[in-house]
Structures are given as C-alpha cells and as structure tokens.
C-alpha cells in the first residue's frame, strides 16, 4: 500500500460523544469534529470525513474501543465498506507520553490515535466486532458481577447469623443451601423456635430438603439453640428483617446466575465448540475463554495466542547477551484462566488420590524431576494447554 493514498481518522470514543481528528500520511492535522454517539448522526460524520479527502484518497479509521462505546460506530463503518483498525489504548498512551509537553484532551487523544494509525496501519489488527463474541463477553461480565455480589451477601449473612445463632456453622455445611435458606427465612432468630417441637421442625425440614433431612437434623438444631442461650436483643424485629432480606436477595442472585449460565451454554453450543469435553472446563470456563480470546482465527497460530495470554517467555538482550524471562504482559484475565486450568490438570481426586488428568500429571512430575519449580512446571502445562485449546477452538474438535 502507498501511505499517501489514504487519510487517517483517529476517533476518541466516549459514552455520549466522540471526537475525531483527521491527519495525512505525514501526520499533519487536516481537520477535526465532535459528534454525538448516535447511529442517526453517523452518516453526517462520514460525509464530513469524505469531504476532507481529495480525489483518489481513501479514508481509514482507527478506534480504541471497538467492543465498548465505539462498537456501534465500528459496526456502522464496517457495514459501509470502510477499513477500521483497532488501536490498543497502550499505544495511544505511549504516544501522548512521547511528546516533550504532555497534555490530555479529547482532541489530543484523537490526534494521537490518528498518528499511530498513519504510522502503524499495516501492523494494527482489523476491528472485528462480532455480535456473538460481544454477547458472550457481556454475559460473562454479568455473571462475574452477580457472583461478586453473591459473595458479599453470603459474608453479610454469616455476620448476622453469628449474632443470632452462635453455633450456626454446625447447622448446615453451606449457609446458602436451599434448606439452610428456608430455616433462616422462617426462623431468622432463635426466639422464633420457641414452642416449636422436634416433630414440627422435622416436618419443615423434610419439606424444605426434599425429604433428605429429618429427625436427626431437627434434634441437633434444637439442641444447639438451647446450648447457645438467649440471643434476643433490642430491635430484634429489624434484625430479623435483615436476615430475611439477605435470604431473598441471595435466592435472587442464585436464580439469576443459573439463568445467565443457561444463556451462555446456548451461545457456546451455537459456536459448535466442544471445550467442555476437556478435563476442568465447564460452561463457565469455556465461555470465559471464548470471551477473552474472541474469534480464534485472528491468531494465525498457537504461538501468537500464547503471547497474547502472556504465557510465552519474552526475549531480553543487550551487549550480545540474551535471556528469556517470564512475561508480565498480555491479557492477564486470560493468563489467569489458563493458570487455574493448569492447576486442575495436576490435581488428584479426593480419597482415591488418582490424577484428574493422568497425562498432564505425568508431564508435571517429569518437569519437577528435571529441576523445575512448581510454578515453572505449571507454566509448561499452561503452554501445552494453549496449543490444545487453540486446536479445539479452531477445528471445533473434542479433546
């Protein structure tokens, strides 16, 4: 390509409005505009850009956030045949810092993006906002938010129960279990159990637990409550309400998490991928991998995926001496997913002590015997996992 056959449009993206700066191949600023983030106004923006281009000159666009605030604009431009490049925010940040006098404004940010686009046009990846990958990513984010909120609610419930039922941990193995929540809701504090017979509690437990808990559990609960002594205090009515409110909220979060996971399972299945056939990968892990990786075809080989995940070592050299060091770069979320997956490959089953994945367990032990540390051996497994996941996603094959 000849650089002087194009003008370069850098767009600084925001929630309500975007700022675009146009430069030529020599980095000279031609013009700029600000427009609202509304699809109805995008035609006016493209007409403005076309007016800046001389005959035979083609505009190309650089956007920082093609899957966030800039998604609608990226889709609009691509549907009309424009070339759109994705500019990593770290590049524009480095561009701003490279100038003797640094400043920060929408116009300056857009100009930095345009200058990067002009210099690195052939190196920048094409923007490819795909609806399915974007939707999966959004659902994964929604589930993560629900799980985080769910964890906070559990901690709050633990705190309140510790005041009401000092021995509550001996009631049930999980305070958020179905039967446990039923108890906390009906009997938010011990004084609600006054006058309740063991048979009455047994009948309640049978119904709440689908006939899995009965006499033994009801006897244990009443005995522990009696052992704990009086816990009723001032404002007990309001304190009981807090317990019941937490129970309602926890149930809602549990149901929403199930619904989100059901939607994720359907989307993952629609892609034809069989990641769940591998040890340690369920619907949640599979959707997280797809969310972070996106379209696997944007990586020409597994080595590039490994570098993207920050798993491949980085070469450092100076004065004729070279050494490979652990990478601290790349997509850290994806790196974390591969790390957790690697840990699961070398785990052994409780009781039987048999490896969950004999092949990887043997490989792990081999690396340890060669003198590698636990972390180094896990990194070796992570690198092999990248090859496997890459092949499974690209060829849509089972493990």
Evaluate whether residue 60 is within a structural domain: yes
**Residues 110, 230 share a domain:** no
pLDDT tops 60 at residue 45: yes
Evaluate whether residue 55 is within a structural domain: yes
pLDDT tops 80 at residue 100: no
Look at residue 318 in the predicted model and tell me its pLDDT.
59
Q: What is the tally of structural domains in the chain?
A: 3
**Residues 260, 145 share a domain:** yes
What lies within 8 Å, CB to CB, of 357 at 6+ separation is 279, 280, 344, 345, 346
**Residues 105, 167 share a domain:** no
**Residues 154, 214 share a domain:** yes
CATH classification at residue 19: 3.30.420.40
Six token digits for residue 320: 């004729």
**Residues 311, 261 share a domain:** no
pLDDT tops 80 at residue 107: yes
Residue 238: count other Cβ atoms within 10 Å of its Cβ. Answer: 8
For residue 66, the Cα-to-chain-centroid distance in whole angstroms is 17
pLDDT (average), residues 268-289: 94
Quick: pLDDT tens for 234-256: 999 999 999 999 999 999 999 99
The model scores a pTM over 0.85:
no
Domain that holds residue 311: 299-315+331-395
Evaluate whether residue 67 is within a structural domain: yes
399 — pLDDT class (breaks 50, 70, 90): confident
Evaluate whether residue 146 is within a structural domain: yes
Quick: pLDDT tens for 311-342: 987 655 556 665 656 667 788 999 999 999 99
**Residues 262, 142 share a domain:** yes
pLDDT tops 60 at residue 115: yes
Evaluate whether residue 325 is within a structural domain: no
How would you class 330 by CB atoms within 10 Å of its CB: exposed for 0-12, middle for 13-18, buried for 19 or more?
middle
**Residues 240, 305 share a domain:** no
Evaluate whether residue 290 is within a structural domain: no
**Residues 358, 309 share a domain:** yes
Look at residue 327 in the predicted model and tell me its pLDDT.
67
Could you tell me what percent of the chain has a pLDDT over 70? 96
**Residues 183, 105 share a domain:** no
Evaluate whether residue 155 is within a structural domain: yes
Look at residue 104 in the predicted model and tell me its pLDDT.
81
**Residues 146, 79 share a domain:** no
Q: Which of these ranges, 3-7, 137-141, 174-178, has the smallest mean pLDDT?
A: 3-7
**Residues 145, 110 share a domain:** no
**Residues 113, 209 share a domain:** no
CATH classification at residue 176: 1.10.287.4070
């Amino acid at each position: 390509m000849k650089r002087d056959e194009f003008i370069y449009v850098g767009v600084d993206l925001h929630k309500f409005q975007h700022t675009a700066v146009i430069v030529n191949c020599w980095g000279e600023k031609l013009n700029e505009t600000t427009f609202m983030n509304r699809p109805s106004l995008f035609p006016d923006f493209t007409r403005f850009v076309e007016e800046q281009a001389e005959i035979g000159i083609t505009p190309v666009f650089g956007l920082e956030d093609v899957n966030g605030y800039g998604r609608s604009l990226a889709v609009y431009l691509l549907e009309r045949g424009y070339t759109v490049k994705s500019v990593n925010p770290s590049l524009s940040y480095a561009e701003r810092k490279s100038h003797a006098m640094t400043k920060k404004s929408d116009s300056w940010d857009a100009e930095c993006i345009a200058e990067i686009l002009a210099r690195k046009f052939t190196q920048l990846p094409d923007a490819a906002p795909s609806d399915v990958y974007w939707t999966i990513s959004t659902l994964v984010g929604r589930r993560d938010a629900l799980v985080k909120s769910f964890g906070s609610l559990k901690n709050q419930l633990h705190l309140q129960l510790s005041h009401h039922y000092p021995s509550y941990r001996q009631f049930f193995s999980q305070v958020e279990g179905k039967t446990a929540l039923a108890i906390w809701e009906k009997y938010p504090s011990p004084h609600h159990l006054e006058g309740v017979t063991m048979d009455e509690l047994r009948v309640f437990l049978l119904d709440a637990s689908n006939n899995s808990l009965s006499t033994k559990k009801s006897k244990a609960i009443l005995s522990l409550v009696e052992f704990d002594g009086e816990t009723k205090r001032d404002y007990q009515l309001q304190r009981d309400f807090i317990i019941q409110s937490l129970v309602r909220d926890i149930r809602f979060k549990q149901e929403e998490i199930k619904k989100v996971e059901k939607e994720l399972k359907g989307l993952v299945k629609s892609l034809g991928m069989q990641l769940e056939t591998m040890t340690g990968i369920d619907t949640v892990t599979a959707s997280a991998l797809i969310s972070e990786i996106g379209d696997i075809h944007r990586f020409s080989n597994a080595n590039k995926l490994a570098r993207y995940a920050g798993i491949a070592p980085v070469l450092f050299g100076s004065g004729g001496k070279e050494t490979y060091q652990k990478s601290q770069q790349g997509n850290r979320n994806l790196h974390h997913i591969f790390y957790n997956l690697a840990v699961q490959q070398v785990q052994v089953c409780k009781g039987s002590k048999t490896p969950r994945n004999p092949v990887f367990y043997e490989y792990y032990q081999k690396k340890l015997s060669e003198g590698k540390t636990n972390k180094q051996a896990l990194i070796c497994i992570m690198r092999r996992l990248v090859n496997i996941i890459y092949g499974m996603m690209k060829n849509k094959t089972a493990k």
